[in-house]
Structure 1
Amino acid sequence: MRLVRFGDKGAESPGLLDGEGHLRDLSGHVGELAGEALLPESLERLRTLDPASLPLVADGTRLGTCVTGTGKILCIGKNYADHAAEMKSDVPPEPLLFMKATSALTGPHDGVCAPRSTTKLDYEGELAMVIGHTAKYVSEADALSHVAGYTIMNDVSERAFQNERGGQFTKGKSSDGFAPLGPWLVTTDEIADPQALRVRTWVDDELRQDGHTSNMIFSAAFIVSYLSEFMTLYPGDVISTGTPHGVAAGMSPSGWVRDGQTVRVAIDGLGEIANRFTVDK
């Protein structure tokens, strides 16, 4: 299934994409795509529905984040060797973990307004996982059974905030809108192997990133298992798995995102997100 949330910001309803690519309203069957609705048995119940029996949603309706009620956004840094190299960093011996504020979440096609002091605005197209079943001390072999599905996240970064303003990564990663997520949640039965997906990012029409999840240093399964050693993962938690080479900070000269540019991220089987960036005045 491809699950979505649609409607005005703050008033989204749950839905799904039918086989013809039309949006269908799920609100008669589930209150929200959050918490218990993401459990395996809940998803299986939704899977039995005939999409043609669900109300159609008008074309052009805004999409929100594909899940809600997210308690944590967990991000893995430098998880592709080529990205670590372009950032002039060693390959990490263990996953490099940082977090983004949940207030950074925004819809897959929403505009993103960066803080007025922004000078080094960057993008990071990433495969993201959404937890569907509580995970604590799970084995790598069992880890993906705790994942409800996969989606796309742009781990937007303000590199001056991140690297030049002291402290850790949080202030460079958590501005409003710095976590576009979507366009839909693709359940795990539709993605045979999360390590077999092409990841691409464009700034306007320029292809900047063209990577593949097979090149991740730490696999999706390993990441879930690893994180569950340190904290309980709950339904709705989002894990973003790192970005391939081609970020603005790695270019010479640096290719910072400018006011008015659009960043688009596409991943095989997961669709694409596109966000126009502005800088607050």
Structure 2
Amino acid sequence: MMDVNEKDEKIVDEILKKIPRPNYSELPLLYDELDRMTKKIGKILIQSKLFESQTLLIRFDKADKNEIINLIGKSSNVMIPFFVMICGFSVRELERLYNIKNVYTLRTNISEQKKLTAFAEAIEDNLKHPIHIETALYKFYKNWEEHQKRHYRGKKAENFVIETLRKYKYPVGKIKVQCKGKEREIDCAIPPDPRNLRVIIMIRHGVFRDLVKRAKEYSTEFDELVECFPNVKFVVIYFVSTHEKDRISEIRSKIESEREGKRPYDLIILTSEEVSSVLLRKLEDWKVPKT
């Protein structure tokens, strides 16, 4: 006879079996993380007093803000994303509607009691009806998958660039710098030392429909960072998806157009092949020291 923990795990495992993972071959680490998070969330919900084992319903209609806080306290790292996703909030909406800024900082700092209480009240306002455990976990899984895909692709792109440059003995790394009273993260710095910065490389992975936003981000980053590091070489990398390789010239023109009337980028890279050819040649031309 199965014990309680085995029964809990079986319920969640059966739900996970049904969930499609369309990008598994590209992003296996994302799905491993999603599976891990969903198992933990499922266990917390099933073992809570809100769960009805006969109906498999989570009785959110009986949850007050204290019970929400109690559930978050079991593992804020997974329960904060769960509640944000299950309600369909965005970070901006929580700030606009409830004055809750940077909600995901609560994942590691639930000691911010005022913010935690405000968040629990927002959840209580919106989760007023019972939800089947399968519905709740499925919705979390697919919403968090969509939320995280860009981050994982970006991380994969950053790792590729950093590992390639390290292979050729360049001192590289991701760093944070203080500039004009703001903290700015540099995806790939050569060297990773704000006191001796020679090259700034900002890295994204995306499709054409994201380009307007990304091109503006690059330009804003350039304007801000060049004030603090006027002699640095500034490289933008926007890895183009395989199905849009025929639009490379159009993508390059759009990125360049954001700098019209301003100092242009020192280099624009759009494919992984260009990293180990064009970028490496430029670093040699710029006489960037190796280790």
TM-score with structure 2 setting the length? 0.22
TM-score with structure 1 setting the length? 0.22
More helix, by proportion? 2
More strand, by proportion? 1
Larger Rg: 2
